[in-house]
């Protein structure tokens, strides 16, 4: 059977090219994004490998078994000190190895007496304060133990009715466990007898860079949670202000003013689209200084209340609303405010969401203005923080937080794709 229509010459080649171009253009940007994700899973050592490996190394759980059989009676604190020394000292020396977790198990007569666990994100969060150097001593750990406990870096538990444990002496012949056991054997700090050091893969510790962002939040420099929340506060407050101010102004322009006034005022607002923010940034900063808003989030937010595009979009939308309905409400004696709140707003949800979504993108991305206004760390937005910390922060932390910073916009794109496309076509056709 012949096809229902004649195939045009060139149709096939066009379809083929179209798919080829689209596929290439879709996949190409995914490569750096994939690299970003892979880097965010890497440990501090392998991130500095050259040539770089495409995939992160699998984190390893190191299990150290210490035997206390035949030694004099130990207090729980002694056990804990011993466990901490066995965890932190060797780990500090091999801190660039892909260790995901270190577990220490203490046994007496094949019976488990305690267990200690330290995941890598907590180790790396605590490392600078607990062990700034490799000069170890018994006193040092005695000093630091309360701090480790308070911050909750290591989990330590005495096991009263410990089950029997099959002890197999000797080590697995794996790189990291051998390094650990070599160190522990030669170390004079550990009371317990080293029985074995084991090494297993632990896929869950791949995501420790993400967890460490949350743990670093107490730290003054790398408080990314705070920077993200600052950005969020700035973005959302500015959007709300833009929606309120732009909404009422757009409504007044399209329904409340006489035509002549409306035209002039619209020009007054929309002409400012030609004034670029970057060109007036110096006097703008002087104004914010006058208002004593430097180093405040309000200083970042307030200039955003003047956004010509939102008024333009609002006016364009309100112009299309049926005037009869508004007239009818007026005749019924409803005040202008009431008409706006009860009749206009419910009909205008689409424009509010479109403007909100369109405003979100530049606001979340904004860098230069916060860089100028927010000079103190407490008010940094994440873009300012990324820039300021780029030279003295581990690339894993930087890339991980960069990746996280893409999530809000990704969410917006997933849930509001239609609205963005609507906004694009509105601004495109009109502006």
Q: Tell the smallest beta-carbon distance from residue 413 to other proteins (Å).
A: 5
Q: Tell the smallest beta-carbon distance from residue 8 to other proteins (Å).
A: 6
CA angle 371, 209, 368 (to 5 degrees): 10
Q: Tell the smallest beta-carbon distance from residue 25 to other proteins (Å).
A: 5
| Residue whose CB is less far from other proteins, 15 or 129 | 15
| Residue whose CB is less far from other proteins, 194 or 386 | 386
| Residue whose CB is less far from other proteins, 239 or 253 | 253
| Residue whose CB is less far from other proteins, 22 or 137 | 22
Q: Can you tell me the distance from the alpha carbon of 197 to that of 63, in angstroms, rounded to the nearest whole number?
A: 6
Q: Tell the smallest beta-carbon distance from residue 259 to other proteins (Å).
A: 12
| Residue whose CB is less far from other proteins, 162 or 408 | 408
Specify whether the CB–CB gap between 94 and 108 falls below 8 A. no
Tokens describing residue 42? 């890497």
Beta bridge partners of 99: 60
| Residue whose CB is less far from other proteins, 71 or 273 | 273
Q: Tell the smallest beta-carbon distance from residue 367 to other proteins (Å).
A: 5
Q: Tell the smallest beta-carbon distance from residue 270 to other proteins (Å).
A: 10
Q: Tell the smallest beta-carbon distance from residue 269 to other proteins (Å).
A: 6
| Residue whose CB is less far from other proteins, 184 or 389 | 389
Q: Tell the smallest beta-carbon distance from residue 125 to other proteins (Å).
A: 21
| Residue whose CB is less far from other proteins, 116 or 397 | 397
Q: Can you tell me the distance from the alpha carbon of 47 to that of 398, in angstroms, rounded to the nearest whole number?
A: 12
CA distances from 112 to 109, 166, 387 (A): 8, 10, 49
Q: Which residue from 396, 400, 405 is spatially nearest to 366, judged by alpha carbons?
A: 405
Q: Can you tell me the distance from the alpha carbon of 26 to that of 215, in angstroms, rounded to the nearest whole number?
A: 35
| Residue whose CB is less far from other proteins, 34 or 76 | 34
Q: Beta strand pairing status for 155-158 and 193-201?
A: unpaired
* Residue-level length of the chain: 431
| CA end-to-end span of the chain | 51
**Distance, CA of 216 to chain centre:** 12
Q: Tell the smallest beta-carbon distance from residue 345 to other proteins (Å).
A: 13
Q: Can you tell me the distance from the alpha carbon of 16 to that of 363, in angstroms, rounded to the nearest whole number?
A: 39
Q: Tell the smallest beta-carbon distance from residue 209 to other proteins (Å).
A: 14
| Residue whose CB is less far from other proteins, 59 or 299 | 299
């Amino acid at each position: 059977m012949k096809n229902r229509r004649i195939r045009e010459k060139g149709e096939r080649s066009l379809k083929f090219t179209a798919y080829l171009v689209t596929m290439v253009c879709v996949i190409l940007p995914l490569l750096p994004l994939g690299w970003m994700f892979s880097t965010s899973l890497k440990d501090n050592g392998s991130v500095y490998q050259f040539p770089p490996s495409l995939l992160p190394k699998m984190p390893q759980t190191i299990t150290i078994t210490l035997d206390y059989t035949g030694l004099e009676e130990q207090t729980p604190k002694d056990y804990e000190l011993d466990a901490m020394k066995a965890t932190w000292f060797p780990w500090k020396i091999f801190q660039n190895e892909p260790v995901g977790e270190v577990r220490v198990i203490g046994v007496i007569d094949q019976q488990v007496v305690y267990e200690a666990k330290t995941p890598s994100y907590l180790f790396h969060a605590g490392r600078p304060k607990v062990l700034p150097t490799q000069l170890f001593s018994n006193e040092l750990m005695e000093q630091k133990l309360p701090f480790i406990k308070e911050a909750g870096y290591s989990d330590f538990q005495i096991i009263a009715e410990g089950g029997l444990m099959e002890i197999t002496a000797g080590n697995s012949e794996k790189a990291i466990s051998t390094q650990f056991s070599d160190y522990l054997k030669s170390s004079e700090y550990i009371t317990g007898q080293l029985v074995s050091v084991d090494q297993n893969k632990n896929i869950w510790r791949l995501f420790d860079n993400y967890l460490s962002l949350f743990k670093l939040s107490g730290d003054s420099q790398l408080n990314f949670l705070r920077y993200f929340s600052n950005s969020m506060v700035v973005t959302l407050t500015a959007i709300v202000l833009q929606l309120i101010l732009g909404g009422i102004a757009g409504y007044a322009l399209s329904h409340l003013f006489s035509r002549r006034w409306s035209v002039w005022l619209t020009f007054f607002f929309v002409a400012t689209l030609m004034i670029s923010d970057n060109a007036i940034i110096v006097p703008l900063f002087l104004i914010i200084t006058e208002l004593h808003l430097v180093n405040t989030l309000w200083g970042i937010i307030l200039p955003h209340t003047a956004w010509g595009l939102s008024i333009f979009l609002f006016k364009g939308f309100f112009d299309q609303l049926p005037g009869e309905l508004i007239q009818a409400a007026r005749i019924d004696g409803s005040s202008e405010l009431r008409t706006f709140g009860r009749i206009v707003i419910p009909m205008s949800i689409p424009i509010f969401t479109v403007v909100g979504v369109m405003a979100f993108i530049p606001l979340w991305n904004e860098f230069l203005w916060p860089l100028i206004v927010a000079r103190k760390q407490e008010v940094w937005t994440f873009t300012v923080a990324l820039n300021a910390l780029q030279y003295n922060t581990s690339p894993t932390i930087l890339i991980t937080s960069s990746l996280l910073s893409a999530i809000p916009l990704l969410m917006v794109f997933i849930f509001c794709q239609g609205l963005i496309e609507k906004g694009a076509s509105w601004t495109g056709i009109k502006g």
